[in-house]
Amino acid sequence: MTAFIIAARRSPVMPRAGAFAALAPHDLAAPVIHAVLADAGIATDRVDELVLSNALGAGGNPARLVALAAGLPERVAGLSIDRQCAGGIDAIGLATALVSAGQAEVVLAGGAESYSRRPLRLAVVPGQPPQPYDQPPFTPWPERDPDMTKAAAVLADRLAISRDAQEDWAIRSHARALAADLPEIVPVLGQGRDGFARHLTPAVAARAKVLAGSVTTATAAVAADGAAFALVVSPAIAARATRSLRVVAQATLGAAPDEPGLSPLPAIRAVLAKGGLVPGDLQAIELMEAYAVQALACIQACDLPLDRVNTKGGALARGHPIGASGAVLVARLFHDLQTGPGLAAIAAAGGIGAALLLAP
């Protein structure tokens, strides 16, 4: 058995401490879930499970809060996962596995993240006062656990991807986002567009603050709040839907932890191989832009057709709600695919990459 996506939506993405600063993840998720179910014509009591990616919450089971806030039946227990940036695609991959195994027929899957509401974290060290920290370790070896921005700058140097090239990509991302119709967005708190997209010019980009090496605030995605979900269903349910896309393949694979920007490459190559496709076969590609250099490096290494990558803008023009970002890519892809296959791919800290291949 295979699985299909019959609806996908997302909230606008808003920078941290912006329009969604007061909203918890379940507040962001509930209206998106309502829209997904309405699009599909599926009643809440048909939902078997909800899989939620959340990276910055306080633990517990935020998927249960989301399920209850969205008015799903109390029997929907909710499954929370955390694979950082890759989690949104992983949630959809897990939903696909549940449906393919016959364990469920209708599964809501995606991510919700409130960077604004993330808790303060303290590490307990015996004999010392609790120590605050912002980022947990992603490897057991500090020398192979780089700061993400510094790693992006090192990658740019190694691959000779100039600051000008990174800025050109960021300018393209903003311009395309501003010009695009984005039917996947569900208005939340009266907001119907991503809050960060702007008229980025070469002059403005040139004045951007340097974060590390050639990486600047113009070429790195901002921390953000947002939610996105897809409805993954069995072939029997998909046969009655007005629109459906088949999940051809999904992969999440590890790579070198000290070069996280290239971590999507094995996953991209794996799903293309499973689908019997080459990059030129892809009609649309949604590639995460945590950093402009990361997107450019993946495009070059996988020979992705440039004219089909992030044609309506990317994360540089909207922001990065970590646990939701992969699902945002899938929601965007779902609304663009018409006649051919499409790819969503994302990198995650610790040298992890996730990719999803869809086809009509």
For residue 74, with 0-12 CB atoms within 10 Å meaning exposed, 13-18 middle and 19 or more buried, which class applies? exposed
DSSP designation for 101: T
Q: Angle at the Cα of 265 (from 260 to 271), degrees rounded to 5?
A: 135
Measuring CA to CA, which residue among 233, 228, 232 is closest to residue 66?
228
Instruction: State whether residue 211 is helix, strand or coil.
Output: strand
Taking the C-alpha atoms of residue 255 and residue 144, their distance in angstroms, rounded to an integer, is 12
3-class secondary structure, 63: helix
Owner of token pair 């656990």: 145
Give ∠ CA 179-185-188 in degrees, rounded to 5.
120
The catalytic residues are 85, 320
- Say if CB 229 and CB 110 are below 8 A apart: yes
What amino acid is encoded at 283 in this protein?
Q
How many angstroms separate the CA atoms of 323 and 113, rounded?
A: 6
- For residues 229 and 227, give the distance between their C-alpha atoms in angstroms, rounded to a whole number: 7
Q: Which residue in 96, 180, 85 sits closest to 358, CA to CA?
A: 96
Under 8 Å between Cβ of 292 and 167? yes
- Residue 249 CA: distances (Å) to CA of 6, 272, 285: 16, 8, 14
Rounded CA-CA distance 319/221 in Å is 5
Closest CA to 202 of 216, 192, 181, 182: 216
